[in-house]
């Protein structure tokens, strides 16, 4: 199965082309420019370097959130257009789950993905990893850092994502040397693709009309109304 996966939930946007579980190529760019200026160019580059066309693609995977409202709209509208044009299904993969999955190979323990939600909040969750699987311990949501931290068990945990700067000092105070911080790149397209492949092979992909963003709070524009 050939799969295009993309993540535009943060400035660390990325696109990947996968053949089953094998990543044929991934383009990740950390930039203040909008995803619209580089997303289609990245997809086109990956297809051309592998000698395939959009007609060869069997499905798509995308992160519908949580994340940047602007980034989400760009990524989802792109995937919706691809899906509509080809008639191929889409797998929706949480950005927090993809971020946790990026660290699934570290043995057993806890993984705390957290993204900067702005306004002093984080999008976060807590997962346990065992036997190559993730189990949600603290549900995904938008949290004030103090609200999320008070739910944490006093155990060794790896934290990852753009929300770390908001929480690092408090995590170190709370957990001491039990708090570990990931230095892995934040690009999530490959993980989105691998998780998306599981969804598509289970027949749980959706058509373009069902691809909608996942919001844990209202956008700034909605709050201003």
Angle at which helix 39-50 crosses helix 69-86, to 10 degrees, equals 40
- For the domain 2-94+186-223, what is the CATH superfamily, name and number? ATPase, nucleotide binding domain (3.30.420.40)
Q: Domain limits of the chain?
A: 2-94+186-223, 103-181
Instruction: Give the model's pLDDT for residue 197.
Output: 98
Helix (H) or strand (E) holding 216: none
End-to-end CA distance of the chain: 45
Q: Quote the CA–CA distance of 23 and 17 in Å, as a whole number.
A: 6
Using alpha carbons, select from 106, 116, 211, 219 the residue that is nearest to residue 167: 116
pLDDT digits (tens, 9 = 90+) for 91-101: 999 999 999 99
pLDDT digits (tens, 9 = 90+) for 169-206: 999 999 999 999 999 999 999 999 999 999 999 999 99
Using alpha carbons, select from 161, 186, 162, 181 the residue that is nearest to residue 171: 181
Query: pTM for the complete prediction?
Result: 0.93
Instruction: Give the model's pLDDT for residue 33.
Output: 64
Query: Is the separation of the CB atoms in 205 and 70 below 8 Å?
Result: no
- Common-topology check for domains 2-94+186-223 and 103-181: yes
Instruction: Give the model's pLDDT for residue 219.
Output: 46
Instruction: Give the model's pLDDT for residue 215.
Output: 86
pLDDT digits (tens, 9 = 90+) for 110-168: 999 999 999 999 999 999 998 889 999 999 999 999 999 999 999 999 999 999 999 99
Which one has a higher pLDDT value, 107 or 132?
Answer: 132
φ/ψ (deg, to 5) at 169: -65, -40
pLDDT digits (tens, 9 = 90+) for 48-91: 999 999 999 999 999 999 998 888 999 999 999 999 999 999 99
pLDDT digits (tens, 9 = 90+) for 10-52: 888 999 999 999 999 999 988 766 677 789 999 999 999 999 9
Domain topology for 103-181? Nucleotidyltransferase; domain 5 (3.30.420)
Token pair 């209202």 in the structure block, residue: 218
Q: Quote the CA–CA distance of 51 and 44 in Å, as a whole number.
A: 10
């Amino acid at each position: 199965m050939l799969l295009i996966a993309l993540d535009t939930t943060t400035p660390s946007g990325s696109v990947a082309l996968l053949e089953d579980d094998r990543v044929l190529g991934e383009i990740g760019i950390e930039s203040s420019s909008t995803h619209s200026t580089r997303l289609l160019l990245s997809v086109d580059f990956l297809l051309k370097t592998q000698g395939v066309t959009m007609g060869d693609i069997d499905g798509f995977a995308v992160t519908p959130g949580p994340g940047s409202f602007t980034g989400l709209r760009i990524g989802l509208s792109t995937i919706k257009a691809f899906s509509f044009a080809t008639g191929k299904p889409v797998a929706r993969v949480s950005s927090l789950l993809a971020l946790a999955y990026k660290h699934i190979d570290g043995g057993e323990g806890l993984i705390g993905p957290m993204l900067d939600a702005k306004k002093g909040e984080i999008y976060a969750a807590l997962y346990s990893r065992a036997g190559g699987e993730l189990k949600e311990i603290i549900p995904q949501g938008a949290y004030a850092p103090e609200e999320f931290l008070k739910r944490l068990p006093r155990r060794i945990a790896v934290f990852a994502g753009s929300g770390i700067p908001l929480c690092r000092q408090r995590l170190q105070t709370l957990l001491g040397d039990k708090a570990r911080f990931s230095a892995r790149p934040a690009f999530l397209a490959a993980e989105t693709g691998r998780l998306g492949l599981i969804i598509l092979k289970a027949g749980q992909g959706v058509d373009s009309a069902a691809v909608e963003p996942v919001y844990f709070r209202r956008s700034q524009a909605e709050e201003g109304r």
